[in-house]
Amino acid sequence: MNSIIKTKNVKSDGENAAVPKHIAIIMDGNGRWATKRFLPRFAGHAKGVKTVNKVVEACVNRGIEYLTLFAFSSENWRRPQEEVSLLMQLFRKVLVGEIRKMGENNIRLKVIGDLSKFDQDLQELVRVAESETAANTGLTLTICANYGGHWDIVNACNKLIAKGIGQGEITEDMLSAHLSMAYAPEPDMLIRTGGEARISNFLLWQLAYSEFYFTDTFWPDFDVQALDDAITSFQKRERRFGKTSEQVQVQ
Ligand code: FPP
């Protein structure tokens, strides 16, 4: 089973690919993982960071070009203040601690979302981490922080209006080009851990043709084998992009 998956540096064109070019993940279940073990919720987030590291490394080894992680949604501010502030501390720690490793692994870091709501020092850390990894040519790792799909689309519309684009002139390509992840192809696969089957205001525009993979596994328990299982499921699917099965098979 893994012989196909472990083909390194396979480039895909998004159809019948050996590995998906772009994987997006909703990392859910940290709190429940911790509660099940009579631990504070934060312990689940801390263990979740370890999973992030393992999954990033596995994606690099499998030649996946883009990995996008939903770390903090626009709605997560509604959580108890203590949890929000601990999540921010964790984000800081990841940015400071992982930059060197990103360099060693040729990873380019991008952070998308409305960062204006974050403390100045955190915004600065993001800016430094992005600029220090900007020239790396391997995996593009995108962290979505204070991100919401509605925000992204409205933001793109406002950018177009600011450019003087008038009523009736906006095209799909123009809107796509003004979304915050315009530098990446749309995700081939969305993985959501933690047993829920919903998008939760993630990449609403960009997930239009993505293959969805839902697993009950809590994010802290998601491991390399679980990632390979998701990729195997992706490889078995026929992506038709609106065409018939016969048309796709003739190509
Ligand atoms: C969802 O689990 C997870 C989050 C809201 C935060 C995800 C954050 C991390 C994995 C750590 C930080 C990562 C980076 C890349 C900086 P939940 O708390 O909603 O879990 P529950 O549904 O079980 O309560």
Measuring CA to CA, which residue among 2, 5, 46 is closest to residue 27?
46
pLDDT over threshold 90, residue 188? yes
User: Residue for token digits 């996008």?
Assistant: 68
Of 25, 26, 27, the residue with max ligand 1 atoms within 8 A of its CB, to mutate for a pocket test, comes to 27
Q: Is the C-beta atom of 109 inside 6 A of ligand 1?
A: no
pLDDT of residue 6: 41
Residues carrying an active site annotation: 28, 76
Tell me the pLDDT tens digit for each residue of 167-179: 999 999 999 999 9
Q: Is 31 annotated as a binding residue?
A: yes
User: Residue for token digits 């400071």?
Assistant: 96
pLDDT of residue 92: 94
pLDDT of residue 15: 46
pLDDT over threshold 60, residue 3? no
User: Which residue owns the Cα nearest ligand 1 atom 6?
Assistant: 71
Tell me the pLDDT tens digit for each residue of 43-95: 999 999 999 999 999 999 999 999 999 999 988 999 999 999 999 999 999 99
Q: Is 235 strand, coil or helix?
A: helix
pLDDT over threshold 70, residue 14? no
Q: Is the C-beta atom of 94 inside 6 A of ligand 1?
A: yes
Tell me the pLDDT tens digit for each residue of 116-164: 999 999 999 999 999 999 999 999 999 999 999 999 999 999 999 999 9
Q: Looking at residue 75, what DSSP letter applies? A: G
Q: What is the mean pLDDT of the chain?
A: 91
For ligand 1, the distance from its centroid to the CA atom of residue 173, given in whole angstroms, is: 32
Annotated domain spans of the chain: 20-250
Question: 3.40.1180.10, 1.10.10.10, 3.20.20.80, 3.30.2350.10: which CATH number matches 20-250?
Answer: 3.40.1180.10
For ligand 1, the distance from its centroid to the CA atom of residue 27, given in whole angstroms, is: 6
Q: Is 138 strand, coil or helix?
A: coil
